[in-house]
Each structure stands twice: as structure tokens, then as C-alpha cells.
A = this chain, B = another copy of it.
Amino acid sequence: MNGAEALLQTLIDNGVRVCFANPGTSEMHLVAALESYPSMRAVLCLFEGVATGAADGYGRMAGAPAATLLHLGPGLANGLANLHNARRAATPVLNIVGDHAASHQSLDSPLQSDIESAASTVSSWVGRPTEVDALGPAVVEAIEAGGVSTLIVPADVSWSDGAQAGGRATARTRPAAVPDLSHVLSSGEPVAFLLNGSALSEEGLAAADRIAQATKSKLFCPTWPARLRRGAGVPVVTPLSYRAETVADQLDGVKHLILVETGAPVTSFAYPGQDGRLTPAGAQVHQLGGGAAALKALAADLAPDVRARGAAPKHIDLPTGLLDADNWAYVLAALLPENSIVVDEAITSGLKVLPDAFAGAPAHDVLGLTGLAIGQGLPLAAGAAIACQQRPVVCLEADGSAMYTLSALWTHARERLDITTVILNNRSYAILRAELKRVGARAEGPGAASMIDLVGPHLDFVSLSEGMGVPATRAGTVEELAAQFKAATSTPGPHLIEAVLTGSQ
């Protein structure tokens, strides 16, 4: 077999069955090899940021990596922003970046660039086998590394014969050191947990909730976690606010902050004269390794007879009239299909309202914007839908963010994915309007406004969506959104609804 075939065989041997691809000439042997490995599902993406974002969505839901197939340095570059989000989400992703054949790399041909430096900014592992018999083992090493791995494959390694598959990766289990926190939890001093990763699964939350009841602790999670189970029947965890002053209220009085699979909380941005650290002054910070398993052990110890409390289902009386910055979320929450995957790139439109609106909705998983690199939502939805083909996906997408990786819609259509995208169209980078004031910048005029308002012309998302084969409608009222969302989620395949929010220009 040639290198390309050995690569695919090794991937399949390790359970990697999906490859989000935007190949070019240097990857043609890999494309050709797909013919021999029909169990590898190759999903064409029209832009590399779609491929990497989809791999992130797949990995978050499957708990195992998808591959990407990218074309040299510029192809990787186009995928970096969503790999940045994947890195922040701790998602396993295996990038395969084709490069020129070794003999060609010194010729400085047009696409030659420094792939390693670009890859290093997002990857926990970067490798470049230079001989065909090193390729299989390199694939195994990349998978074993976990997180975002980038395997650079020179074309001559792909096309050379004499390769063989690399075998099975060995799971690297590092038993987490679980510190003894009994003195903290029995101290009577106010305790808060900041939960992330596996702690935000249903079983992680159940254990945390039992501990919280027994020790009168509070439970928080990041503003936009990688994956959070939420809704009716699921124990409640409160997202930290995007705003430092609100976090100060949330954590007021906390003397012990216990971090589970996350770092100490910080603001997303710096503001003049403000500290970016959100840990309350005087609070001690503790790390609890081991995620959900550690929480379960702790719950067995501290709260053996306590039962987890699931959120009550909440009946929402649909509001009426024009859509505004808030009411859209209650419409969707009221009509959310059971066990949905909710991709949240609603940004400003979602910050205030989503946690409340969706708290009592049918139980669902929500996937957040971990790295704040916008343009994640539509690709993430594609990957999540492919990972969980029996589950409906609802993609909440801000207008500005949607424009980064809009061609993901074509992949939604081509792969016939069961995704309902709702564009929250406030016709601006609304978050920047707030931020302009918050950083203390002196700007009230048309120059600054022109950098924030997405007008002149308006974006017509119905037209854009239909241009890529996804049927679309526009909603200006609650009644329209409700009818359109019901229709979209009850009809297989992708749909898009442009929700025009009043107050927008």
C-alpha cells in the first residue's frame, strides 16, 4: 500500500471514520485512496475554517477525533481560527496537512510556507514523517497526543509504496491526583465550584449538585463551555457572566473556589484600570483533577444519601408581536425538540437571555464559543450533526459571526444534515457597540459606527442561504418565528430562519 492508503487504514483502525476535507493537488493521492476505504466518510467543505470547525463539533459530541484534510500552509491558515476554538475546547482533532514532496520544498514554489510555525499556534502535537514507513506510526502518535494534532504529510510520503498501517493507539490515561478537599468543604466557609469538561456532563452535574447540597456550595461554569448538558431534569449550573461586575456579584463572599477541568476565571478582555482576574479577593483556589469521576467519588463520600435535583420543566407562554433582543430565545426554548444539540454562537443576542430561557427547555447539549474566534457556529453544527445523526441540531448564529464561515451551509445541504439554523440578525457587531463604551474609548461619530453597523447594504440571509441550497425563511414576529421553527424542526434536512430583531437598524 502507498502512504495515503496506510494513513487511511491507520485512521480507520483507530476509529476515525470522518474526514472534513478541502484538498488540493498535494493531497490528490489521499483523495484517490478514499476510493479504497469507503468506511471513511469524506465531507467536502468549501473553506478550511468549515472543515476545522466541523471537526471540533464532531469531536465535542463524539468524544473522539475526526480528521481534517487541508492543503499546505494556506489551507491550514484558513482553518486556524476554528482550531483555536477547538484547542480551547480541548477537543480531539487530527489535522492532515498535505505538503509538497521533499524534493520540491527547497524550490520556494508559490505555495511553500512555514507550516510548522502556523500549526504550533493551535496544536498540542505537530509531526512530519519524511519516510513512508514513518507515516503509520506518526498517525498513531498524533492520535495518542490528544487535543489538536497536526500531521504534515509530504506528497511523496503519500504516493510512495511500501507503507503499512501504524496499529492501534494506546489511550494515555493519566490518573488525576485528587486532592483532599474535605477540610475546605467542611470548613463552613462559602465554597463555589467552577466546572468544565466532563464535569458538565449529566453525571458530572448530578454529582456536583449532590456535593453542592451537602456542603451548601455554589456551582458555576464558564460563559461559553465546550459542551454543557442543560434543561429539564438536568441539575443546574450557572454560567459566569461575560461582565466582570456581574461575576463579582456571582462570586461575592466566596472563600474557596474549586476548579474542575478549568483554570481560574478571567475576563475575556482587558479594560483600562481593571484587573482581568475574576477570583474574589481573599478566596483560596483549589484544583480538583479527575472531572466527573472525581466529583462522583466526592459525592459518594460527602453526600451518600443526597439525590441530585434536576431542573423543572418550564412551560413558556409564547409572547406575541415583534421579535426583540430577548423574546426570540423563549420562542425557541418553548419549541426545542427533545435531546437537541444547541450550538450557541448567538453572542450578544444570547448572553443575557439564553441561560434563563433554556433552563427549563427539553434537555439538550449546548456547545459554546470556547475561544471567542467567531465563525464557529455553522461549521460546529455540521460536525455535531454528523457525530449524532439521530439528534436534531439547532444552530443559534449571530449575523456578524455567520459571515465568517457561511459556506458551511452548503455542507449542511450537501450532507442533508438535520440542522435548523436561526440567524439572530441585529444588523451590527452589537457586542462591539457595548465594548466601545466599556473600554472608555471616546467615539460617538460616524467613523466608529461604520465599523460596527452591518448596514448599507443589509445582509439578506434568506437569499444567501438559498444560494447554497438550504431552504430559508424570514421571521419578524414571534408568531412567524414559532411557525417557521416548528416547520423547520419537524422537516428532515437543513433549514435556516433569519430572525430580524427589532431595535436593530
Binding site for B on A (CB under 8 A): 21, 23-26, 28-29, 31-35, 38, 42, 44, 46-47, 49, 73-75, 77-78, 80-81, 84, 88, 100-101, 103-104, 107-111, 113-114, 117-118, 120-122, 155-156, 159, 263, 266-270, 272, 275-277, 370-373, 375, 400, 403-404, 406-407, 410, 413-414, 431-432, 435-436, 438-445, 447-448, 450-452, 454, 456-464, 466-469
List of B residues within 8 angstroms of A467 by Cβ: 459-464, 467
Check if A21 sits within 8 Å of B451, measured CB to CB: yes
| 7 sampled A-B residue pairs with Cβ under 8 A | A46-B454, A74-B371, A77-B118, A78-B81, A107-B266, A410-B457, A458-B469
Smallest CB-CB separation from A458: which chain B residue? B469
User: How many angstroms between the C-alpha atoms of A457 and B416 in the bound complex?
Assistant: 10
Tell me if B468 and A24 are in contact (CB < 8 A).
no
**In contact, B121 and A73 (Cβ under 8 angstroms):** yes
Contact B159 A44 (CB under 8 A): no
Asked whether, in the complex, the Cβ of B276 is within 8 Å of the Cβ of A103, the reply is: yes
Contact A404 B373 (CB under 8 A): no
User: Are the C-beta atoms of B439 and A34 separated by less than 8 Å?
Assistant: no
| B276 & A107 in contact (Cβ 8 Å cutoff) | yes
B44 x A109 contact (CB < 8 A) = no
Are A269 and B432 in contact, with the CB atoms below 8 A? Answer: no
Closest to A79 in B: B77
Interchain CB contact under 8 A, B460 and A34: no
B111 touches A122 (CB 8 A): no
Cβ–Cβ contact A32 & B268, under 8 A: no
- Asked, given contacts A100-B269, A400-B46, whether A121 binds B122 with beta carbons under 8 Å apart, the answer is no
Residues of chain B lying within 8 A (CB to CB) of residue A373 = 74, 77, 111
- Residues of B contacting A84 with CB < 8 Å? 73-74, 77, 111, 113
The reply to whether B439 and A276 contact each other, CB–CB distance below 8 Å, is no
- Contact status B117-A436, CB under 8 Å: no
Inter-subunit contact B114/A447 (CB<8 Å) = no
Q: Known A-B contacts: A26-B270, A460-B466. Give 11 more (CB < 8 A).
A: A21-B451, A31-B432, A31-B443, A32-B442, A32-B443, A46-B400, A47-B404, A74-B84, A117-B121, A156-B270, A463-B467
* B residues less than 8 Å from A110 (CB atoms): 88, 268, 370-372
CB-defined contacts of A413 to chain B, threshold 8 Å = 457
What separation, in Å, do the CA atoms of A120 and B73 have in the docked complex? 13
Q: How many copies does the complex hold?
A: 2
Contacts of A49 in B (CB 8 A): 78
Query: In the bound complex, how far is the Cα of B464 from the Cα of A275, in angstroms?
Result: 45
Task: State in angstroms the CA–CA spacing of A270 and B153 once bound together.
Answer: 13
Q: Nearest B residue to A156 by beta-carbon distance?
A: B270
Instruction: Determine whether the beta carbon of A47 is less than 8 Å from that of B403.
Output: yes
Determine how close the nearest CB of chain B comes to the CB of A402; give it in whole angstroms. 9
Q: Quote the shortest CB–CB distance from A83 to chain B (angstroms).
A: 9
Distance between Cα atoms of A372 and B469 in the complex (Å): 28
- The answer to whether A407 and B403 touch across the interface, beta carbons within 8 angstroms, is yes
Inter-chain contacts of A35 with B (CB < 8 A): 442-445, 447-448
Are B113's CB and A44's CB within 8 A? no
B451 pairs with A31, CB closer than 8 A: yes
If A113-B121, A120-B117 touch, whether A440 touches B159 (CB-CB below 8 Å) is yes
CA–CA, A413 to B263, complex, Å? 44
CA distance in complex: A103, B447 (Å): 29
* Chain B nearest Cβ from A396, distance in angstroms: 19
Contacts known (A31-B443, A447-B42); A159 close to B272, Cβ less than 8 A: yes
Query: A443 to B28, alpha carbons, bound, how many Å?
Result: 9
Give Cα A7 to B435, complex, Å: 21
Of A28, A34, A448, chain B has the most CB atoms within 10 Å of the CB of A28
- The CA-CA distance from A241 to B164 in the complex, in Å, is 37
Which residue from B111, B276, B277, B461 sits with its C-beta under 8 Å from A372?
B111
A74's partner among B42, B80, B267 (CB-CB below 8 A) is B80
Q: Least Cβ distance of A502 to chain B in Å?
A: 21
Report the minimum CB–CB distance from A350 to chain B (whole Å). 16
Q: Are B439 and A25 in contact (CB under 8 A)?
A: yes
Q: Nearest-CB distance from A43 to chain B (Å)?
A: 9
Q: Contacts A46-B400, A269-B155 given: A113-B122 contact, CB under 8 Å?
A: yes
Closest B residue by C-beta to A78: B81
Hey, which chain B residues are within 8 Å of A121, CB to CB?
73, 77, 113-114, 117-118
